[in-house]
Structure formats: structure tokens, C-alpha cells
A = this chain, B = another copy of it.
Amino acid sequence: MSAFPPATHDVFALDQLLTDEEKEIKYRTRAFMEREVAPIIADYWERAEFPHELVPKLAKLRLGGATLKGNGCPGQSLVGAAMAVIEIARVDGSMSTFLMVHNSLAMLTIGLLGSEEQKTQLLPRMATLESVAAWALTEPSNGSDASALTTSAKKVEGGWELNGKKRWIGNATFAEWIVIWARRADTGDVNAFLVKKGTPGLQTRKIENKIALRCVQNADIRLESCWVPDSARLPGVNSFKDTNVVLAISRIMVAWQPVGLAMGVYDMANRYLRQREQFGNPLAAYQINQEKLQRMLGNIQAMTLMAWRLSKLYEQGKLDHATSAMTKAWNTLRGREVMALGRELLGGNGVVSDFLVAKSFNDMEAIFTYEGTYEVNALVAGRQATGIAAFKALPKKGK
């Protein structure tokens, strides 16, 4: 299937809510994605390979660093950064995740919690994507309950010795730098360390057989007596709570991802239904199909507004984690509905990734699950609404 379908999803005039700069990011990114990525990405996805050839081209879009200012970073507004996220995700979820991990997890951690030296040394080359970064929090035994992480950091002569396992770490097979979250052997507090590719004691193994975000190279990591110098420690991280300053932004970006996926799937399904005929009429003529299209369209407007409002609250310093968690959860729930509707609307072609919809249908599953699963985010938000943490064992009373 040839050119990417025109954008027909925006019936609520999103541009009105954007600054000129944000609009510019949106259309700049869209043009790139439709022209450079759409024609080639399905093959990479099928082979579960990362499209390294696209990195230099992507670099020219100047999206590296996103909301960070200085050190070569573009200092985008939050909504501006989000426009890049959705336009990339509209065409490909993997590329969107690749950049989200690099920008809104790894670079952001360095930018917000690193030393001046770390920033000036690393960020400029990361902003140009010459250096790609990864961010390693999750462990094989600690996913939803990441705060229970057991990777350890022992203070040794001139540095730290890291031991433990990480799982699911995006970009980690080829990233130059990996931010490793570990627990200090002395205090028990969580710290973070920059570990460079090739450091002795660091092993990364690609996770095979994923059905979602197949271009993203997720790794199982093993750290065995992995020594890093004192300068590798991020001075801004002194406890697990310090992840929050990063996750506050990254979760917003993740809440935008389903918006982008949904836009692309709608655009594709809309065109498909108008072009294909069965029983003497275009598929778009049939009631069942029209209702699905409209449900998708309504969901997209709502998801967009949810993520936009979340971003605005953040910009005003009025966002709390609960609201962010609720929105991430909600957007992935509706995003999943859009994907399923799009998938079925394409019939048999809905199971072939070249038609985009099958690919996004699968990619959505990962987003439903990462940065806190739907359920765990709902319970994190629920804790605030009720005052009770239901994801843990409840206090046993009486009787």
C-alpha cells in the first residue's frame, strides 16, 4: 500500500490549542514520518530490527532532548514535545518509544538529576542522537513494584560496583549510555548510575519474540561486579522518590502515545473503508462500519483533550501523580478500543502489518503495560481518591 493516508482525524481543530512553534513541530514531524518512515518501517518491524538508517535523518528534525533547555537541547514546550510524540506514533509506535525512552527517560534523568559536568558532557551528543541512551529501572522480579528493586550498588575504591539484573530495557542493546537504578548497599537508598556500553561486567541480551514495538530493542541486562567511577553517579538521585521528577514528564508523554497510534489507525481505516467495496458498496457505506469509525473518532478527540489538559496542568505546576496515572490509564484503555476497532475494520488485511493497523494494534499492548500497567496506574490514582493503597496488602482489622 502506497502513500500514508491523509490526516482526517482532527475534527476538534487541535491546532487552535497550539502555539506556532508547537504547530511547526507537529507538521515538521508529520512530513518526515510520512515520507521517510512510513514506506520502510513495516519490514523492520517484521524482522524485529531497529532502523538505524533512520537515526541521522531523525536527528535533523532536532527533537533530541525535547523539553530540556541548553546543552544543545531544543527546549520544547511540553505540548510541543507531545506533538512530536503523536506524529511519530501515528506512523510507528516503535520509533515513538525509541525516542521517548531516549528523551523523556534517559536524557531527562541526566538533565534534571545529573551534575553540570554530566550534562555538558553527555547531553549535546544525545541531542543530536549521535549517542543514544537507555533507562533501566525494571527488573525480572520487580515490574509493577519497581520500588522493590534489588540491583545493588556497593561503594568501592574510586567508584561503585553494580550487581543485579534488569529486564525490558529499551534501546539497551546498542545504547552508548544506560541509566541504571540501583540500591546502595550501605544505606538501602536508591541511586542512579550512568553505565557506558562495553563496561566490563555489563551484559545485554535482546528480548526476542515480542509482538509489540518490535523495532524497539529491549534487553535483559546482567550486571556482574560492574565497576563504574564516582563520576557515574547522578548526584540528584538520593532515593526512589527521585524517579518521580522524571516519571512526571515521561508519563505524560506516554499518555500521548495512544493518541498518535489512534490517529494513524483512524486515518488508515477511514481511507480503507472508502476505497474498498463489498456487496456493491464501499465498506464505508455500512452502518456497522460507520458506527465504529465514529467511536474511534470520538475516542481520539477525547484522548487528545485528556493528554492536552494533563500537559497544561503540568505546565502550571498543578499536576499530581494520581491525575497523571489516571490519565495514562484512561488513554490506554480507549486507545486499545480504537486499535481493536481499526483491526476488525480492515478484515483480513487487518492482520498484515504493512497496512499499519495490525502493527499499531500490537504496539498498543506494550503501551497499555509499560510506565505502570493500566491496573497499577488506576490503583495509584485510586490511592489518592480514597486514601488507601489497594495495590498492597490491606491492613488486617479486627476479627
Binding site for B on A (CB under 8 A): 8, 11-13, 42-43, 45-46, 138, 141-145, 148, 167-168, 207-213, 270, 273-274, 277-282, 284-291, 293-295, 297-299, 301-303, 305-306, 309, 313, 318, 322-323, 326-327, 329-330, 333-334, 336, 340, 343-344, 347-348, 350-354, 358-359, 361-362, 365-366, 368-370, 373-375, 378-379, 381-383, 385-388, 390-399
- 30 A-B contacts, Cβ less than 8 Å apart? A12-B323, A45-B209, A46-B208, A138-B348, A143-B278, A145-B279, A212-B351, A273-B386, A280-B392, A280-B393, A280-B396, A282-B388, A285-B388, A287-B288, A290-B379, A290-B385, A290-B388, A291-B375, A291-B379, A294-B330, A294-B382, A298-B329, A299-B330, A301-B326, A302-B305, A305-B309, A343-B365, A348-B369, A392-B396, A393-B395
- Contacts A329-B298, A395-B393; A291 near B145 (Cβ below 8 A): no
A285, A344, A353 interface centre (most CB from chain B within 10 Å): A285
- The answer to whether A392 and B279 touch across the interface, beta carbons within 8 angstroms, is yes
Asked whether, in the complex, the Cβ of B398 is within 8 Å of the Cβ of A280, the reply is yes
For A365, the chain B residues whose CB sits under 8 A away are: 343, 350-351, 358, 361
Residues of B near A379 (CB, < 8 A) are 287-288, 290-291, 294
Structural contact, B143 and A353, CB atoms closer than 8 A: no
Minimal beta-carbon separation of A116 from chain B (angstroms): 35
**B393 in contact with A394 (CB, 8 Å):** yes
Q: Which chain B residues lie closer than 8 Å to A279 at the CB level?
A: 144-145, 148, 391-393
Is B394 a contact partner of A395 (Cβ separation < 8 A)?
Answer: no
Distance of A379 from chain B, by nearest CB (Å): 6
Contact of A281 among B167, B326, B394 (CB under 8 A): B394
Interface residues of A: mostly helix, strand, loop or mixed?
Answer: helix
Q: Taking CB as reference atom, which chain B residue is nearest A302? A: B302
B290, A209: Cβ atoms under 8 Å? Answer: no
Given contacts A211-B361, A351-B369, 20 further A-B contacts (CB under 8 A): A11-B326, A143-B347, A168-B348, A211-B358, A279-B392, A281-B388, A284-B386, A284-B388, A286-B390, A287-B288, A287-B391, A290-B378, A290-B382, A294-B381, A298-B327, A299-B330, A302-B330, A344-B368, A347-B369, A393-B394
Q: With A385-B270, A393-B396, A396-B393 as known contacts, state yes or no: A323 contacts B11, CB within 8 Å.
A: yes
Contact A211 B211 (CB under 8 A): yes
